[in-house]
Amino acid sequence: MRERGIHLVSLGAEIGVEVHLNQNPSFFSNHPVEGRAENWAIFVYGYKNKSEICYLVGLHELGHVVNEHTIGQERELWYDDHILEGEAEAWNWALDNTREKFSAYALNWILDYPIKTYLRNSPHENGYPGPSYHKLVERIRLAPFFN
């Protein structure tokens, strides 16, 4: 939907970052949709189909900027052992700032793909589940609330 892209660009303008919706997949990954946040811009790769997932990824990347997870251009500076909590915080921001209700599939995708990726790694690398993570899981368990 064109409205999703317009909403992402509008939110980006409100918080002072550029929004780049690239139709081509990222050359850094073999995943069809991927995002990246820097302190001055967000990038969503694979935006060609303009799906719910693409929109969610864009909102999520804006959530990283708003929550100051981007220091300079090196996200690793804030990550340390807080990856899981920071990712959950950005996903919660995305759900707080959407203009639409997401399908159960899209909401569960958050837990099944990006969050599970961090949980698979050892806790000392990505941090332990904290309040933002538990809030996110509870929101997705209440998916009918969003639908």
How do strand 18-22 and strand 34-37 relate by DSSP bridges? unpaired
pLDDT digits (tens, 9 = 90+) for 101-124: 888 888 888 988 888 877 776 555
For the chain, the domains span 2-145
pLDDT of residue 79: 47
The predicted pLDDT at position 125 comes to 56
- What values do phi and psi take at 94, rounded to 5? -60, -45
Residue type (1 letter), 49: N
For residue 100, give Cα distances in angstroms to 68, 103, 112: 25, 10, 21
Counting residues of the chain whose pLDDT is more than 70, the rounded percentage is 71
33 or 54: whose pLDDT is higher? 54
- The pTM for the full model equals 0.81
Task: Please list, in sequence order, all residues whose beta carbon lies within 8 angstroms of the beta carbon of residue 11, skipping any fewer than 6 positions away.
Answer: 19, 59, 62, 97
Distance CA 24, CA 21 (A): 9
Mean pLDDT, range 8-35, rounded to an integer: 76
Higher pLDDT, 107 or 40: 107
* CA atoms lying within 13 Å on the CB side of residue 49: 11
CA angle centred on 140, ends 108 and 28, rounded to 5°? 45
Q: Sheet of 41-45: strands edge to edge?
A: 18-22, 41-45, 34-37
Which is more confident, 64 or 48?
64
